[in-house]
Structure 1
Amino acid sequence: MQICAAPPFDSDRASTADTRWRSHDLLRLRRLPRFDGEPDWVRAAFERAPYAVVRRALAADGFVAVGLRGTERSQRYGTWVHVDDVEHAVAPEALLEQPPPRAALPAFVALSALRHDMRRAEWVDLVWGPTGSTGFELATRVPTVSASSDLDLLIRTPEKLSRDAAAHLLDRLQALAHQAGIRVDAQLETPAGGVALVEWAAGKTRVMARQARGPQLIADPWAPAHGYL
Structure 2
Amino acid sequence: MRTDTFAKGKEYEAHDLLRLHTLPPMSNMPAWLSGVFADAPYAVVRRADAPPGFVAVGFRGPSRAQRYGAFVALDSIASACSPEHLRDRPLSPERRALSAFQALEALTRHGWLDGLAWGPTGSVGFELATGHPVVSDASDLDLLIRMPTPLPRITARTLRARLSAVEAAFGVRIDTQLETPAGGVALSEWAEHKPRVMARSGRGPSLVADPWSTPQPYDGAQP
TM-score by length of 2: 0.89
Residue of structure 1 in register with 2:201 after alignment:
211
State the distance in 1 between where 2:22 and 2:202 align: 24
2:105 is equivalent to residue 112 of structure 1: yes
Letter in 1 for 2:61: G
- 1:44 paired residue among 16, 21, 35: 35
State the distance in 1 between where 2:200 and 2:62 align: 25
- 1:74 paired residue among 65, 75, 78: 65
Residue 19 of structure 1 deviates from its aligned partner by 5.8
2:127 is equivalent to residue 133 of structure 1: no
Letter in 2 for 1:151: L
Letter in 1 for 2:98: L
- 2:88 paired residue among 97, 116, 130: 97
Q: Which runs of 5+ in 2 are unaligned?
A: 1-8, 217-223
Asked whether the equivalents of residues 130 and 154 of structure 1 are also in contact (C-alpha less than 8 Å), the reply is: yes
Report Cα offsets for 1:108-150 as digits up to 9, x if no partner.
Answer: 0000000112x25xx4211100000000000101101000100
State the distance in 1 between where 2:91 and 2:45 align: 22
Matched residue count: 206
Residue of structure 2 in register with 1:84 after alignment:
75
Residue of structure 2 in register with 1:171 after alignment:
161
Runs of 4+ in 1 over 6 A off after TM superposition: none
State the distance in 1 between where 2:202 and 2:187 align: 19
Residue of structure 2 in register with 1:61 after alignment:
52
Deviates more, 1:21-30 or 1:169-178: 169-178
Asked whether the equivalents of residues 155 and 188 of structure 1 are also in contact (C-alpha less than 8 Å), the reply is: yes
State the distance in 1 between where 2:178 and 2:99 align: 23
TM-score by length of 1: 0.87
**1:163/1:19 CA distance change after superposition, 3 Å:** farther
2:22 is equivalent to residue 34 of structure 1: no
Q: Give the aligned CA root-mean-square deviation in angstroms.
A: 1.4
Report Cα offsets for 1:155-192 as digits up to 9, x if no partner.
Answer: 00001111011011111111111111121000000011
Letter in 2 for 1:195: V
1:38 counterpart SS class: coil
